[in-house]
A and B are shown apart, each in its own frame.
Chain A
């Protein structure tokens, strides 16, 4: 955990302090607060609604012809619908009241024709629009995934993981929801509203303006209530997920609950969580109960106004009955779209927030830009001679984490790296893979400055085995190699030499074996062997082992030990270790403290001298 993260969490906790025995609602609401503050901090750094929206439009460029076509279809459809409303008035006045049968029939037929056309056009238009919108979102997603690979690691160190996950999942979904589902509704609703207003003003300016003006109260109320409603929805969904989290926690902790007899206690806590949720729901219910009818009442004000002014106009003979009926129909045409707009307004707002976040994320600086100095040298093999010369590094304006490091590792040497957490051993290893930039000094591999190498090509030459193997859902084959050129035989050979085949003796080794998420159908040892085999298949020149043999059950320990020994031969190896057993295999051990190399030499020498390593070893059996 970086210092920065600890500080952040510290702040979160500070906000959390509360006297004992307070209801859990307070805890959760303080989480909500913390989350809100996080969000507001994001906004400070963000791009702003308008700018991010215009960036989003760039993604739509390749599909602009289709989108324009769709929009014009929707426009034509709205126009037809409005014109049909006008004809309804004509039918009444010039047909029915004037008792002209032929004209009545021709009006009726025109109305039918327009309605059919309107339905057909809007259906087609909406389909085309949805199709193109989904393409746009797809390309946004594609860029996001590319971005994940391009961002420098320091970005990931600074941001809580959850937030980045939110960007690539929830936030994109917000945009997706808006563009593929709501946008069509909104566009057709707004077009209908605008055309209805235009039609009213054209047919009778004064009455039209009165009608238009009387929409204002409902717009005002909509605007005023949208934040309440949005917050209420958010509160409800947060409390709802608090219940889910609680249940998941209790199911995970079932053994503890049973062994302490906490059935009643957990029920009380669970009930409290449900009550908090219920309370939020009921508050939301009350809010909806008055605000929805209020908005819909305000939306009927134009009708009431129309009846009053229009009716008086008809009485005075200033307005014809036909016009009055047309206006009633116009009103119906824009009443529904208005209600729809009011319902979807929070989706729009959500979409803007999401867009802003996603675009800000896409706008972050890439590894190329931050680390610079990407060399051109592409290599197929290294002998693995490593030199650190007066090397110093710091993370993003922080303290120096490595200070004046000087060492030389000869090709084929096995080096153990030890020290407390944060002593600089991981940073040293990260620098070799060029995950971070260093500020002073030089690193040379095979006597070539490391900045001369192409970054990815260098990484290809470095094999890394972590403590926790990463296994994903798919076949065993997919888990071993993502290089499609590798044959099954190569995979099997590698698996045999690491002992993976032996480890699966019971189940029967099979490349097509289905591996579950996180490797849950494998033991820890089997998982570690998969990741070892994966590294072996890449045939790296330099091997880095990060406490790769910890947490292994004894049965596999032997197999893994053998596999590691096989892989280490003829390669330069850096071994991050905490346990003495692991260090015994090393030619030399480097002891780090506060970014400096304080001791080095063979293990036997370090252990006997009663120096820093000796103390370190005795003070803690675990790091």
Chain B
């Protein structure tokens, strides 16, 4: 209900903000429809003129030739105008479809970036968000533009056609309209089934594509392990499933032929039975008969569209509701609170980071560690060791203030708990290099500088500190080398060093290093450690490492043992 209301308000506000352009669009559609109805009427006049039946006064010229020229000009200019009006609604209403889509797509990341970790892990997993971003925005955008065009079109075209028919013969107009009312009902049902079938086919297809790309990517292994025929069989089973699903969809689509065919036949019955009778009883001219024939077929369009619109509209709003769920999802408070500025004017020996009686556990049960206490001053180095699973990474996430779900105890940064500061201020002061090197699919330059403006010289300096300068100098494009999908895949060690350089470039007061040189060879590692120790005199360093050699630069170390807390 909440989401429904929100979806509606998004739509209403969007339209209200742009009411001028929407009015223009509606006006253009109206004019287009007028011209559309004029066409069969015009042919009727021409036929009447040819068969010497009376035609409206305002179209009559001084002689036959002049009348004909007038009739011709009306026809020709209406054809030109119709296309000008079509152009107009495309660049007014049609355009809004795209603007709205852009807005919705932008809003997705605007909200997702502040989501709570647990929501990202459970409720809004990557698959869910990707789907919302790609397919929901795509369906939702139509209610802001093209569906509105269709509605206006149906409304005006339907009304105008009906009026034009009623002017020729009211009874026949009503009858034609009533007998064709089955069309929207059938079309709606059919289009719903089509959409369902389409979804089914798409699911099969994406599964099929996944499987195909897996089959290609594992080809060498298939060859070595002789599992190729097995893959082939699997692929063919899915291919057959896809074929039959797709065929079902096509056959549903082909059902429009008999449905719309039935509409034509019924229209012919009405036209012939009444039309011929009225023409012979002179209540209708031959030109009227021809106009009527054109108009009755013109009536099919809006009736058919009506069926589509109902399901399009529903589909669009359901998608908008799903997006609203994302927009209304509760945000992580720690990321959005406005904090006080960090006070760096403290005596030299006052602690930068102070931990007192810290206890942490994943849910109820034995805590991962308990009653941990220590102080770190400016420029001090702390080393943390311990076996896998002892909670080293968890401890770091708490010390960096990224994880605040501690059971008891306190962590203070420059004398105040993390919650007193804003996320932005904290992150500017705290550097963190994680075990898993994640890089952005951008150039090396952007990966180092990120949100800071930085000269190339400075970037090279940080790369040098991280022991990566020589490697990158070998790349043909140096700092401009693109990473990710399209670029060179760096080796594990290079990636780790790049993430280190990136952390250095953010110029932090405290730097946390979570076993971030594990894939770097010992010689290079030694060089990097020395660099860091020398150049980061004023920076407080916290190191997590497996290798004892890493820790020789530390003036404090402790070992975290599984389920036992710390031994200082």
Chain A residues with a Cβ under 8 A of chain B: 1, 6, 9-10, 12-14, 16-18, 20, 27, 31, 34, 88, 92, 95-97, 99, 101, 104-105, 108, 111-112, 115-116, 119, 122-123, 126-127, 130-131, 134-135, 137-138, 141-142, 145-146, 148-149, 153, 156, 161, 164-165, 168-169, 173, 176, 180-181, 184, 240, 243-267, 270-271, 274-275, 277-278, 281-282, 285-286, 288-290, 292-294, 296-297, 300, 303-304, 307-308, 311-312, 314-315, 321, 324-325, 328, 433, 435, 456, 459-460, 462-464, 466, 470, 472, 482, 517, 534-535, 538, 544, 553-554, 619-622
Contact = CB atoms under 8 A, between A and B. Distances in A.
Given A134-B243, A289-B91, A260 B68 contact: no
B175 interface: no
Interface in B200-225: 205, 208-225
A245 B219 CA distance: 26
A208 to B, nearest CB: 19
A136 B102 CA distance: 40
Contact of B243 (A92, A137, A164): A137
B402 A252 contact: no
Given A115-B268, A289-B90, A258 B402 contact: yes
Residue from A288, A321, A544 having most chain B Cβ neighbours under 10 A: A321
Contact of A253 (B208, B253, B432, B440): B440
A51 B403 CA distance: 63
Interface stretch (B1-9, B234-242, B354-362): B234-242
Interface string B273-284: 000100110000
A285 B90 contact: yes
Nearest to A328: B43
Given A1-B489, A311-B72, A482-B229, A293 B265 contact: no
A173 B204 CA distance: 13
30 contacts: A34-B486, A96-B276, A119-B258, A119-B264, A134-B243, A138-B243, A148-B216, A149-B232, A169-B208, A180-B247, A180-B250, A240-B134, A244-B130, A244-B134, A249-B484, A251-B126, A255-B402, A257-B113, A258-B427, A260-B432, A261-B426, A263-B114, A285-B94, A293-B83, A297-B80, A304-B79, A308-B72, A324-B50, A534-B225, A554-B388
B254 A277 contact: no
B400 A259 contact: yes
Nearest to A163: B216
B538 to A, nearest CB: 20
Contacts of A156: 216, 219-220
A213 B109 CA distance: 54
A250 B226 CA distance: 38
B485 interface: yes
A248 B68 contact: no
Given A180-B247, A245-B441, A249-B441, 11 more contacts: A9-B487, A10-B476, A119-B258, A119-B265, A254-B120, A256-B438, A264-B451, A267-B113, A307-B76, A314-B50, A466-B224
Nearest first, the 6 closest Cβ-Cβ pairs linking A and B are A261-B427, A482-B230, A119-B261, A293-B83, A289-B90, A265-B451
Residue from B222, B434, B440, B441 having most chain A Cβ neighbours under 10 A: B440
Given A96-B279, A146-B232, A248-B126, A281 B101 contact: yes
A347 to B, nearest CB: 14
B14 interface: no
Nearest to B219: A156
Contacts of B83: 293-294, 296-297
Contact of B251 (A130, A246, A270, A325): A130
A289 B90 CA distance: 5
Nearest to A123: B257
Nearest to A142: B236
B157 interface: no
B246 A270 contact: no
Given A119-B258, A464-B225, A261 B126 contact: no
A396 B476 CA distance: 26
Interface residues of B, number: 139
Nearest to B209: A169
A126 B98 contact: no
Residue from A101, A104, A258, A300 having most chain B Cβ neighbours under 10 A: A258
Given A14-B477, A134-B246, A296 B86 contact: yes
A260 B451 contact: yes
A81 B251 CA distance: 22
A255 B434 contact: yes
A614 B446 CA distance: 39
Interface in B292-343: 293, 335
Contacts of A312: 68
A126 B258 CA distance: 12
A108 B276 contact: yes
A156 to B, nearest CB: 6
A285 B276 CA distance: 46
A314 B261 CA distance: 33
Given A169-B212, A315-B65, A247 B261 contact: no
A153 B219 contact: yes
Contacts of A311: 46, 50, 68, 71-72
Contacts of A296: 83, 86
Interface in B65-96: 65, 68, 71-72, 75-76, 79-80, 82-84, 86-87, 90-91, 94-95
Given A14-B476, A253-B440, A126 B257 contact: yes
Contacts of A297: 79-80, 83
A253 B257 contact: no
Q: Is the interface of A mostly helix, strand, loop or mixed?
A: helix
B450 interface: yes
A427 B556 CA distance: 49
A259 B521 contact: no
Residue from B120, B205, B212, B484 having most chain A Cβ neighbours under 10 A: B212
Contacts of B268: 108, 111-112, 115
Contacts of B451: 260-262, 264-265
B444 to A, nearest CB: 11
Contacts of A254: 117, 120
Given A112-B268, A294-B83, A97 B68 contact: no
Residue from A12, A135, A153, A300 having most chain B Cβ neighbours under 10 A: A300
A111 B113 CA distance: 64
A308 B64 CA distance: 14
Nearest to A131: B247
Contact of A165 (B213, B264, B290, B491): B213
Contacts of A460: 226
Contacts of B50: 311, 314-315, 321, 324
Nearest to B429: A261
B213 A324 contact: no
Residue from A88, A101, A145, A281 having most chain B Cβ neighbours under 10 A: A145
B400 A17 contact: no
Contacts of B65: 315
B170 interface: no
B272 A112 contact: yes
Contacts of B108: 247
A13 B477 contact: yes
Contacts of A315: 50, 64-65, 68
B438 A252 contact: yes
B477 A459 contact: no
Given A127-B251, A321-B51, A459-B226, A259 B427 contact: yes
A303 B438 contact: no
Contacts of B212: 165, 168-169
Nearest to B423: A261
A97 B79 CA distance: 29
A115 B441 CA distance: 59
A307 B75 contact: yes
Contacts of B106: 270-271, 274
B112 to A, nearest CB: 7
A116 B441 contact: no
Contacts of A180: 246-247, 250
Nearest to B98: A281
